[in-house]
Chains A and B, each alone.
Chain A
């Protein structure tokens, strides 16, 4: 096998390797050196991390397993110090020597750091990699004032992130307009006004000459003598191709490593790709051209007929701090250009197309980018615009349809996920889709940034023709198996008296006979909610955790969490748990967040036996149901306690355990406002006060952090139980499946809930339905122990040995 070495482990380089593996999987023994201690990740998403929308794991493109599966030797945290182009060998900074037949340099670029005094102070950083990102997030915890140097895309994204992190942000820009390379002055001033309203402060036409401070930065000084304070300085003025290793090794370098149309450098068998490469005097920084380069290089290296790379015309679709922008081609007018403009200052929409000799040569769109695909196609394909209406106007419904008809099938609709018009049309036709939601589910179009949704919707309308129902298309259906919504489903079940999941799917004409993981659990829930104790639960319509009555872990093992009412236990129970843990070699015994003990890493086939020996009820740590009622010690022992919090917690947990709810429900009971059980962030929280209880609702301590709202104050424990029963039942009857109480209350309104529950008759009726529902539940672990059929179907592992 030939030896292929790549210096650099970033997006352009690894994409090239992927192309090579696709074209010729067995041809090379591949080694990759990466400077950062990570596998290949999506650098574009760093600003999303800063803005708090995602985390590092989510942005990894090629996990370490991918390298392993493809037999790629990866050295992370290691750079190549020198290339011996005569001996065809690279030498790493750790002295490692690796021979190559072909060598790809994909070292990318670095943040350009201004060469001014003080640039090496603490608190000054670029914005280019994970390390920069982490440093910025950490600084935001401690410091208040940030200055971003550079009013381009990267700088503005960083500034938006810093605002989200709670810092005050100044953006310093050398030029009179923001993003002057992509936007004309009008678009740029619209953007500036929008960002100022979001809280950014701009210092325009300022040239930074010095960074002030001792060890750590305290401020900046500009050329005009003015100064500004700063605890953190982010330089986002541009990138600089990382060419050091090529230069040292005698490879020809200009601004970047110079390559020809086949990405070949001046030295045989050495190639460069990505932001470190300069092609026809251009260094590209956007991902699309880099991927094009990678494709050409892969073909060249694999020995195929490579089509030469002729450079890319880039159209930039951007979203800056919530504003949609598109820019392509020329930005500025000269004597030979004519502009076509729409300027709606009121709605914040601005569009300008620059033309020369009946051809589009430049596009700037601000606030509304739905014309971008069409205009960009006209620009790149040099279509004559005489007699063509450039912009869609609001009322030209048929015009839009004509556009869809004339759109070629291979035209990209969703840039984020690479979905073409053809793929969308095919999905609509072959899978009988009728709503936007379904199209998104099936094709991924519109699932990332969502900007293409209007276009997808137009394609849907065009493809369906007369069958298109615009109201229905916008509706949120339960899943892609149907077009009906939650309200319609519940109404139909009641009106037609439907009693099983299968019947629902049948009668309501599901397009997928046996449903999917979204609709089946939802239908099962709604049936149980409506028919109360008469409904026979469909266990196989539940997802794994609820079906197995245990939480599946990532390695296929399960966890066992027995009920510990109110977090109160006994020495005897603790002994029993300890003995079972020892006997079954449980790898992890841990106190859970809900005041009980979890046994983790249990084999499926051990579950029933362990349950039997524990002889305790399931804690339902896996279910869309009441999880735990967390309590403080309360008046029984605590000198501050005004109420018996443990007793109330135990009563609540015993009453509502096993109840099916739209999503999980957590409760907390504290005996005084010091609130040791954190009742303020529970779905329902109870706080003891002198002579009564405060009931808080819709708190959430998880993804959707939200303090609870006071629902009411009651005097006795009996009133607490009644109010809780009514509230929970109202939630059960009106929430969407998988909607937490925090989201539900925000949707329907706290005042509405208060109003409903204020009526005593209503409360009574709700409690009656609740009590009737509660009748049907039996303890599931005990049921499994008693029932061999359940054991065989769900918990058995059959081991078969052959040839012995």
Chain B
């Protein structure tokens, strides 16, 4: 299988507000984009690993974590890991920034 890395421009950095989640759809993949207080931007699949699911983009952001808005799981934005006592992991996407453009690498 040939895999090509694609870099997709998704947002202007200056338009993103800190501690907010944005929902994007790239082809069929729903992605939640977060800018945190320290200025970093993270991208995760917009789907909680909780058995009953739910989106993440509307969750409360605290430091480098987001709380799933439906079941309140605490999820690391850095590696997608669900924090104890719950378990699971969300797919993360690489984010790159050039000047004011934010890219997601697929």
Point out residues on A near B: beta carbons under 8 Å: 63, 65-66, 417, 442-444, 512-517, 520, 540-541, 543-544, 547-548, 552, 554-556, 604, 792-794, 796-803
Q: How far is the CA of A799 from the CA of B24 in the complex (A)?
A: 6
Q: How far is the CA of A552 from the CA of B48 in the complex (A)?
A: 14
Supposing A540-B19, A544-B69 touch, asked if A513 and B6 sit within 8 A by C-beta, the answer is no
Does B59 sit at the interface, judged by CB under 8 A? Answer: yes
Contact indicator A798/B85 (Cβ below 8 Å): no
Nearest residue, chain A, Cβ from B59: A544
Query: Among A541, A556, A802, which residue has its beta carbon within 8 angstroms of that of B55?
Result: A556
Query: Among A512, A540, A604, which residue has its beta carbon within 8 angstroms of that of B61?
Result: A540
Contact indicator B53/A513 (Cβ below 8 Å): no
Contact indicator A796/B22 (Cβ below 8 Å): yes
Contact indicator A554/B53 (Cβ below 8 Å): yes
Query: Among A63, A512, A540, A792, which residue has its beta carbon within 8 angstroms of that of B60?
Result: A540
Q: How far is the CA of A794 from the CA of B58 in the complex (A)?
A: 8
Nearest residue, chain B, Cβ from A798: B24
Q: How far is the CA of A207 from the CA of B66 in the complex (A)?
A: 61
Restricting to B60-106, which residues have a CB under 8 Å from any CB of A? 60-63, 67, 69-70, 72, 74, 84-85, 106
Q: How far is the CA of A544 from the CA of B48 in the complex (A)?
A: 14
Nearest residue, chain B, Cβ from A443: B85
Chain B residues whose C-beta falls within 8 Å of the C-beta of A543 in the assembled complex: 60, 69
Contact indicator B26/A800 (Cβ below 8 Å): yes
Chain A residues whose C-beta falls within 8 Å of the C-beta of B24 in the assembled complex: 797-800
One digit per residue, 1 when the CB lies within 8 angstroms of any chain A CB and 0 when it does not, for chain B 1-41 equals 00000101011000101011011111100000000010000
Chain A residues whose C-beta falls within 8 Å of the C-beta of B62 in the assembled complex: 512-516, 520
Contact indicator B25/A799 (Cβ below 8 Å): yes
Query: Among A417, A442, A802, which residue has its beta carbon within 8 angstroms of that of B26?
Result: A802
CB distance from B86 to the nearest CB of A (A): 9
Residue contacts A-B, CB under 8 angstroms, 23 given? A444-B85, A513-B63, A514-B61, A516-B62, A516-B74, A517-B60, A517-B67, A540-B60, A543-B69, A544-B70, A552-B54, A555-B53, A556-B55, A604-B58, A793-B20, A798-B24, A798-B25, A799-B24, A800-B8, A800-B27, A801-B26, A801-B27, A802-B8
Chain B residues whose C-beta falls within 8 Å of the C-beta of A514 in the assembled complex: 19, 37, 61-63
Chain A residues whose C-beta falls within 8 Å of the C-beta of B37 in the assembled complex: 514
Chain A residues whose C-beta falls within 8 Å of the C-beta of B54 in the assembled complex: 552, 554, 556
Contact indicator A512/B63 (Cβ below 8 Å): yes
Supposing A512-B63, A516-B74 touch, asked if A552 and B69 sit within 8 A by C-beta, the answer is yes
Given A552-B70, A556-B54, 9 further pairs, Cβ under 8 A: A443-B84, A514-B19, A514-B61, A544-B59, A552-B54, A792-B15, A800-B26, A802-B6, A803-B6
Chain B residues whose C-beta falls within 8 Å of the C-beta of A66 in the assembled complex: 51
Contact indicator B23/A604 (Cβ below 8 Å): yes
Query: Among A65, A548, A802, which residue has its beta carbon within 8 angstroms of that of B106?
Result: A802
Contact indicator A520/B63 (Cβ below 8 Å): no
Query: Among A513, A552, A555, A798, which residue has its beta carbon within 8 angstroms of that of B23?
Result: A798
Chain B residues whose C-beta falls within 8 Å of the C-beta of A540 in the assembled complex: 19-20, 60-61
Chain A residues whose C-beta falls within 8 Å of the C-beta of B22 in the assembled complex: 793, 796, 798
CB distance from B6 to the nearest CB of A (A): 6
Contact indicator A802/B63 (Cβ below 8 Å): no
Q: How far is the CA of A517 from the CA of B54 in the complex (A)?
A: 16
Q: Is the interface of B mostly helix, strand, loop or mixed?
A: loop
Q: How far is the CA of A556 from the CA of B32 in the complex (A)?
A: 13
Contact indicator A547/B58 (Cβ below 8 Å): yes
Contact indicator A520/B60 (Cβ below 8 Å): yes
Report the interface size class on chain B: 20 to 34
Supposing A417-B85, A512-B62, A548-B58 touch, asked if A517 and B70 sit within 8 A by C-beta, the answer is no
Query: Among B10, B17, B20, B52, which residue has its beta carbon within 8 angstroms of that of A554?
Result: B52
Point out residues on B near A: beta carbons under 8 Å: 6, 8, 10-11, 15, 17, 19-20, 22-27, 37, 51-55, 58-63, 67, 69-70, 72, 74, 84-85, 106
Chain B residues whose C-beta falls within 8 Å of the C-beta of A799 in the assembled complex: 24-25
The 9 closest A-B pairs by CB, nearest first: A544-B69, A514-B62, A444-B85, A556-B55, A799-B25, A544-B58, A517-B67, A798-B24, A800-B26
Chain B residues whose C-beta falls within 8 Å of the C-beta of A556 in the assembled complex: 54-55
Q: How far is the CA of A556 from the CA of B106 in the complex (A)?
A: 24
Q: How far is the CA of A65 from the CA of B88 in the complex (A)?
A: 14
Contact indicator A800/B25 (Cβ below 8 Å): yes
Q: How far is the CA of A86 from the CA of B69 in the complex (A)?
A: 54
Supposing A66-B51, A443-B84, A797-B23 touch, asked if A554 and B15 sit within 8 A by C-beta, the answer is no
Contact indicator B67/A516 (Cβ below 8 Å): yes
Nearest residue, chain B, Cβ from A541: B60
Chain A residues whose C-beta falls within 8 Å of the C-beta of B26 in the assembled complex: 800-802
Nearest residue, chain A, Cβ from B27: A802
Give the most central of A515, A543, A544, A794: most B CB within 10 Å: A544
Q: How far is the CA of A794 from the CA of B20 in the complex (A)?
A: 8
Q: How far is the CA of A219 from the CA of B7 in the complex (A)?
A: 77
Chain B residues whose C-beta falls within 8 Å of the C-beta of A442 in the assembled complex: 84-85
Give the most central of B15, B60, B106: most A CB within 10 Å: B60
Q: How far is the CA of A515 from the CA of B53 in the complex (A)?
A: 24
Chain A residues whose C-beta falls within 8 Å of the C-beta of B6 in the assembled complex: 802-803
CB distance from B41 to the nearest CB of A (A): 14
Q: How far is the CA of A517 from the CA of B84 in the complex (A)?
A: 15
Q: How far is the CA of A658 from the CA of B15 in the complex (A)?
A: 30
Supposing A442-B84, A512-B63 touch, asked if A552 and B27 sit within 8 A by C-beta, the answer is no
Nearest residue, chain B, Cβ from A604: B23
Query: Among B17, B53, B60, B84, which residue has its beta carbon within 8 angstroms of that of A793?
Result: B17
Q: How far is the CA of A63 from the CA of B6 in the complex (A)?
A: 36
CB distance from A580 to the nearest CB of B (A): 23
Chain A residues whose C-beta falls within 8 Å of the C-beta of B67 in the assembled complex: 516-517
Nearest residue, chain B, Cβ from A513: B63
Nearest residue, chain B, Cβ from A57: B52
CB distance from B71 to the nearest CB of A (A): 10
Chain B residues whose C-beta falls within 8 Å of the C-beta of A552 in the assembled complex: 54-55, 58, 69-70
Give the most central of A442, A444, A794: most B CB within 10 Å: A794
Q: How far is the CA of A379 from the CA of B63 in the complex (A)?
A: 47
Q: How far is the CA of A405 from the CA of B6 in the complex (A)?
A: 56
Q: How far is the CA of A799 from the CA of B31 in the complex (A)?
A: 10
Chain A residues whose C-beta falls within 8 Å of the C-beta of B8 in the assembled complex: 800, 802
Q: How far is the CA of A134 from the CA of B69 in the complex (A)?
A: 33
Chain B residues whose C-beta falls within 8 Å of the C-beta of A444 in the assembled complex: 85
Q: How far is the CA of A558 from the CA of B26 in the complex (A)?
A: 22
CB distance from B53 to the nearest CB of A (A): 7
Chain A residues whose C-beta falls within 8 Å of the C-beta of B58 in the assembled complex: 544, 547-548, 552, 604
CB distance from A428 to the nearest CB of B (A): 14
Q: How far is the CA of A520 from the CA of B72 in the complex (A)?
A: 13
Nearest residue, chain A, Cβ from B69: A544
CB distance from A545 to the nearest CB of B (A): 8
Chain A residues whose C-beta falls within 8 Å of the C-beta of B74 in the assembled complex: 516
CB distance from A619 to the nearest CB of B (A): 20
Chain A residues whose C-beta falls within 8 Å of the C-beta of B20 in the assembled complex: 540, 793-794
Chain A residues whose C-beta falls within 8 Å of the C-beta of B106 in the assembled complex: 802
Q: How far is the CA of A354 from the CA of B61 in the complex (A)?
A: 55
CB distance from A481 to the nearest CB of B (A): 9
Q: How far is the CA of A332 from the CA of B70 in the complex (A)?
A: 52
Q: How far is the CA of A417 from the CA of B84 in the complex (A)?
A: 12
Chain A residues whose C-beta falls within 8 Å of the C-beta of B10 in the assembled complex: 798, 800
Supposing A512-B62, A540-B60 touch, asked if A65 and B51 sit within 8 A by C-beta, the answer is yes
CB distance from A508 to the nearest CB of B (A): 16
Q: How far is the CA of A554 from the CA of B24 in the complex (A)?
A: 19
Chain B residues whose C-beta falls within 8 Å of the C-beta of A517 in the assembled complex: 60, 67, 72
Nearest residue, chain B, Cβ from A804: B27
Q: How far is the CA of A801 from the CA of B23 in the complex (A)?
A: 14
Nearest residue, chain B, Cβ from A540: B19
CB distance from A66 to the nearest CB of B (A): 7
Q: How far is the CA of A315 from the CA of B38 in the complex (A)?
A: 51
CB distance from B2 to the nearest CB of A (A): 14
Contact indicator B51/A63 (Cβ below 8 Å): yes
Nearest residue, chain A, Cβ from B6: A802
